[in-house]
């Protein structure tokens, strides 16, 4: 259960990631720099936050739609990759710069972002519970068989 709690806290902190600068700062250990198409600046511009794990150092997650992409290649265009895999992302579909949003527009966007966040965390927790149920059933079967 601890991994879902870490996941939940990470996604919840994404409310600060409307800021391009904060998103770009998250790419301090990003392997792709100059002469690459997926530089930290371009990744941040496309809404991504760098969220590496021990086994996956190039995972990037959209702070808004929470799509996670890995396996980046130097020639990959972050905006195009994001659009291909999450065409309805609210961040991608902004018709104006974030700094120009009205308060009402911001609250509407944040409401949508939180719906996505809650749905994702809920699905992760449900998968965890399903796995626990399966393990418990297997343990009970093996006890009954012996």
Domain CATH code at residue 69: 1.10.1170.10
Per the CB < 8 A criterion, the answer to whether 47 and 92 are in contact is: yes
* The pTM of the whole model exceeds 0.75: yes
Range of the domain at 78: 2-145
pLDDT at 48 over 80: yes
Rounded to whole angstroms, the Cα distance separating 72 from 23 reads 17
pLDDT digits over 99-118, tens only?
888 999 999 999 999 899 89
How many domains are contained in the chain?
A: 1
Rounded to whole angstroms, the Cα distance separating 16 from 100 reads 17
At 48, is the secondary structure helix, strand, or coil?
strand
């Amino acid at each position: 259960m601890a991994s879902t709690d870490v996941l939940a806290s990470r996604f919840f902190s994404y409310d600060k990631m409307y800021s391009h600068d904060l998103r770009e700062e998250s790419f301090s250990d990003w392997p792709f720099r100059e002469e690459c198409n997926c530089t930290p600046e371009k990744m941040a511009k496309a809404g991504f936050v760098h969220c590496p794990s021990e086994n996956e150092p190039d995972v990037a997650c959209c702070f808004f739609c929470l799509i996670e992409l890995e396996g980046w290649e130097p020639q990959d265009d972050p905006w195009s990759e994001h659009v291909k895999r999450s065409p309805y992302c609210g961040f991608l579909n902004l018709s104006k710069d974030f700094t120009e949003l009205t308060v009402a527009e911001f609250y509407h966007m944040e409401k949508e972002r939180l719906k996505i966040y809650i749905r994702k965390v809920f699905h992760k927790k449900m998968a965890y519970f399903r796995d626990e149920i399966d393990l418990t059933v297997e343990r009970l079967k093996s006890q009954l068989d012996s």
